[in-house]
């Protein structure tokens, strides 16, 4: 007899009724299972929602950090630009006159670079990732613009400084050529030549002053020498004129001096007088002056005659 045939109602397990119906205990267990499944589903949905929210919050947090970083970079760029704008080099370049540079266009470029308006600040106050990303993008773009403006300003300042140096070198070279043979100390020109070759603005300024001082010293010495020579020439001319005037006066004095009077005594050959007396060589009348006067023009005039 097999096992199946040996089973009787008494030997059939209680979990399996003979008529095939489900025990009452098993019927009560199904709602419990359904409830558990429902709770699990709700928990799963709730967990998913919480997970999504956590993930979204994380994304927003990361976007906010990125935005704040971009704004910080923008603030640094603006601060750097303002510092460059107020630097001594920029101030000096902006005060440069057009006559002090070789290329005046560099000054125009500098004024344009220094006239950039400072942009407004960007705020990371959006509540979602999209808004924060937009703010970060704006901050990045603005920062790039400010950095470009700062770079342009720095280049413009250097261009003005270079143009000033070009003008300084050109002027110094002109002075070097113009003062050849016109300085008291030639070493000053040699120092200027070396400074020009090095394009050293400070050395050029010092050398230019030395050359100008040496040039002025030579001009002063030349002027003094010229004045002395002119004075000596004037003194010599005055002395010569005085000598000539003295000689002329002496000659005039000699010409106006009267010639000395000459005496005239007629001679007789020894004839007798009417009185019968002996002959005499002395005339009856003789001038008191001892003779007749002779004028310079050759005319004669009688002097005071005294009768003997």
Same domain (yes/no): 129, 39: yes
Neighbouring residues of 199: CB distance < 8 A, sequence distance ≥ 6 = 165, 169
- What is residue 199's three-state secondary structure? coil
Same domain (yes/no): 57, 84: yes
Same domain (yes/no): 139, 73: yes
Instruction: Tell me if 215 sits within 8 A of 178, measured CB to CB.
Output: no
Q: Is residue 24 part of a domain?
A: no
Instruction: Tell me if 67 sits within 8 A of 124, measured CB to CB.
Output: yes
Same domain (yes/no): 38, 148: yes
**Given 114, 133, 161, which residue is the final one in a domain?**
161
Same domain (yes/no): 138, 200: no
Q: Is residue 276 part of a domain?
A: no
Residue 148: the pLDDT is: 95
**Given 131, 161, 191, which residue is the final one in a domain?**
161
Same domain (yes/no): 140, 185: no
Residue 252: the pLDDT is: 78
Residue 299: the pLDDT is: 52
The dihedral formed by the CA atoms of 126, 127, 132 and 134, expressed in degrees to the nearest 10: -60
Phi/psi for 5 (5° steps) reads -75, -25
C-alpha neighbours within 13 Å on the C-beta side of residue 37: 6
Same domain (yes/no): 97, 201: no
Flag whether pLDDT at 272 surpasses 80.
no
Domain count, the chain: 2
Q: Is residue 287 part of a domain?
A: no
**Given 161, 194, 225, which residue is the final one in a domain?**
161
State the residue range of the domain holding 203: 179-236
Instruction: Tell me if 273 sits within 8 A of 302, measured CB to CB.
Output: no
Same domain (yes/no): 47, 154: yes
pTM: 0.56
d(CA 245, CA 56): 125
Q: Is residue 245 part of a domain?
A: no
Same domain (yes/no): 196, 156: no
What is the per-residue pLDDT across 135-176, written as a single tens digit (0 to 9) for each? Answer: 999 999 999 999 999 999 999 999 999 999 999 999 999 999
Phi-psi region of 181 (alpha: psi -120 to 50; beta: other; left: phi over 0): left
Same domain (yes/no): 156, 203: no
Q: Give 250's pLDDT tier (boundaries 50, 70, 90).
A: confident
């Amino acid at each position: 007899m097999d096992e199946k045939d040996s089973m009787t109602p008494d030997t059939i397990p209680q979990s399996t009724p003979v008529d095939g119906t489900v025990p009452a205990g098993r019927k009560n267990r199904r709602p419990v299972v359904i409830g558990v499944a429902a709770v699990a589903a709700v928990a799963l949905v709730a967990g998913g929602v919480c997970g999504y929210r956590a993930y979204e919050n994380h994304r927003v947090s990361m976007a906010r950090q990125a935005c704040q970083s971009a704004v910080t970079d923008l603030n640094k760029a603006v601060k750097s630009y303002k510092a460059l704008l107020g630097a001594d080099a920029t101030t000096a370049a902006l005060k440069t006159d057009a006559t002090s540079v070789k290329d005046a266009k560099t000054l125009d470029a500098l004024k344009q670079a220094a006239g950039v308006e400072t942009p407004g600040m960007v705020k990371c106050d959006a509540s979602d990732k999209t808004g924060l990303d937009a703010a970060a993008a704006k901050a990045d773009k603005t920062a790039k613009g400010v950095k470009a403006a700062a770079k342009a300003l720095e280049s413009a300042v250097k261009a003005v400084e270079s143009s000033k140096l070009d003008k300084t070198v050109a002027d110094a070279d002109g002075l070097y050529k113009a003062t050849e043979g016109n300085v008291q100390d030639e070493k000053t020109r040699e120092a200027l030549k070396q400074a020009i070759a090095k394009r050293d603005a400070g050395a050029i300024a010092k050398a230019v002053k030395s050359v100008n001082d040496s040039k002025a010293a030579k001009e002063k010495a030349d002027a003094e020498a010229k004045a002395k020579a002119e004075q000596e020439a004037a003194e010599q001319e005055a002395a010569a004129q005085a000598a000539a005037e003295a000689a002329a006066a002496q000659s005039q004095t000699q010409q106006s001096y009267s010639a000395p009077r000459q005496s005239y005594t007629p001679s007789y050959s020894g004839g007798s007088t009417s009185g019968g007396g002996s002959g005499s060589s002395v005339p009856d009348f003789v001038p008191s002056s001892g003779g007749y006067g002779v004028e310079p023009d050759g005319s004669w005039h009688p002097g005071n005659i005294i009768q003997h």
